[in-house]
Amino acid sequence: MTLTEEPRLTGRPALPEEPAVAPHEPIWKLMLRKYMKNKLAVIGAVLLFLIIGAAIFAPWLAPKDPSQQVLLDKLAPPGKDYPLGADNLGRDTLSRLLFGARISLLVGFASVAGSIFIGTVVGAVAGYYGGKLDAVLMRFVDAVISFPSLFLLITLVTIFEPSIMTLIGIFAIFGWTGTARLVRGEFLSLRKSEFVLAARTLGIRNGRIIFSHILPNALGPIIVSATLGVGGVILGEAALSYLGLGIQPPTPSWGNMLQSAQNPQIMLGAWWYPLFPGLMILTTVLAFNFVGDGLRDAFDPKIED
């Protein structure tokens, strides 16, 4: 440590004092400052905070049991008893939305964790080793991208019986290609850099170079793509649940709440019932996208603050 901090030991004259305008600032502080300047990103972070909090504390926040049916209160309008109304079986919409947030976030985070893992491994191996291995892996990525994935997704769901676990697995299997391309790009540009050559010269194993030397440099873009990915999975889960192939009732999910709302009779009398689950999906995905964009700018050293 001391060696690198003593420029005189290299034989050159001491460096002039750094100008006062650029004080040494930890990198995370610089990023935080850049992030806080982006208003939409801050709004997104606040929203996300609230939604995650609502999901975690759903059992305490929910005014009612989400699966308790009060048939007399079928399609009750928003009011004192039911802040956001009741559904066609007399269940409290607000409570179901809160518990639905748990499902959406769980599926979103878990499957993105899986797809980030697959994508990082494939991208790192392809980018680090290059050559034929790279070509084969990237052709495979091209093939997966051009699959009509929704059709295969639906086919898989009907085969494996929809459950939270199968949904997470299926979204992980189809979601990794973007990350793989991204990580590969980072590795391609870094594999010939001096610190990698130095590590190689020291005889460090490839696996270690990949994971502890190069990967930390690619962490920014990976986090950004993960953030945007969660929003995408939440949209996908909602669509599958709406089609009846995702989360199965009585477990509440924003998507399957919309499925039972599609009925002209309900739509005529109870506008609140199809409205709120959609607004929740929209807000959550928007929050993830704002945060992702904010992080992208904060991580990008080319963008001045």
Give yes or no for residue 37 binding another protein (CB under 8 A). Answer: no
Least distance (Å) between residue 158 CB and another protein: 5
Strand (E) or helix (H) holding 68? none
Least distance (Å) between residue 230 CB and another protein: 12
Give yes or no for residue 212 binding another protein (CB under 8 A). Answer: no
Q: Beta-carbon neighbour count of residue 22 at 10 Å?
A: 7
Please, which of residues 282-301 interact with another protein by CB under 8 A? 282, 285-286, 289-290
Count of residues binding another protein (CB under 8 A)?
40
* Lookup: tokens for 269: 């009398």
Least distance (Å) between residue 15 CB and another protein: 39
Q: What is the DSSP string of 87-126?
A: -TTS-BHHHHHHHHHHHHHHHHHHHHHHHHHHHHHHHHHH
Give yes or no for residue 271 binding another protein (CB under 8 A). Answer: yes
Judged by CB under 8 A, the stretch of 7-15, 53-61, 122-130, 255-263 that binds another protein is 255-263
Give yes or no for residue 229 binding another protein (CB under 8 A). Answer: no
Give yes or no for residue 239 binding another protein (CB under 8 A). Answer: yes
CA distance linking residue 272 with residue 97, whole number of Å:
13
Instruction: Choose between 94 and 228: whose C-beta lies nearer to another protein.
Output: 228
Least distance (Å) between residue 271 CB and another protein: 6
Instruction: Choose between 187 and 242: whose C-beta lies nearer to another protein.
Output: 242
Give yes or no for residue 4 binding another protein (CB under 8 A). Answer: no
Question: Which residues are bridge partners to 86 per DSSP?
Answer: 92
Residue matched to tokens 């959550």: 284
Judged by CB under 8 A, the stretch of 59-67, 175-183, 191-199, 241-249 that binds another protein is 241-249
Helical residues (DSSP H) of the chain, grouped into ranges: 2-5, 27-37, 39-56, 58-61, 93-129, 131-146, 149-160, 164-175, 177-190, 194-201, 206-208, 215-243, 254-261, 264-269, 272-299
CB neighbours of 188 closer than 8 A, spacing ≥ 6? Answer: 127, 130
Rg of the chain over all Cα atoms, to the nearest angstrom: 25
Which residue from 26, 71, 268, 302 is in contact with another protein, where contact means CB under 8 A?
A: 268
Instruction: Choose between 82 and 242: whose C-beta lies nearer to another protein.
Output: 242
Which residue from 46, 219, 262, 301 is in contact with another protein, where contact means CB under 8 A?
A: 262
Instruction: Choose between 67 and 166: whose C-beta lies nearer to another protein.
Output: 166
- Residue 191: which of 129, 284, 106, 276 has the closest Cα? 129
Instruction: Choose between 158 and 206: whose C-beta lies nearer to another protein.
Output: 158
- Here's the x/- map for another protein, 139-178, by CB under 8 A: it reads as x--xx--xxxxxxx-xxx-xx-------------------
- Residue 175: which of 245, 233, 123 has the closest Cα? 233
CA distance linking residue 117 with residue 231, whole number of Å:
17
Do residues 288 and 230 make contact, with C-beta atoms less than 8 angstroms apart? yes
Interface with another protein by CB under 8 A: which residues?
139, 142-143, 146-152, 154-156, 158-159, 231, 235, 238-239, 242-245, 258, 261-262, 264, 267-268, 271, 274-275, 277-278, 281-282, 285-286, 289-290
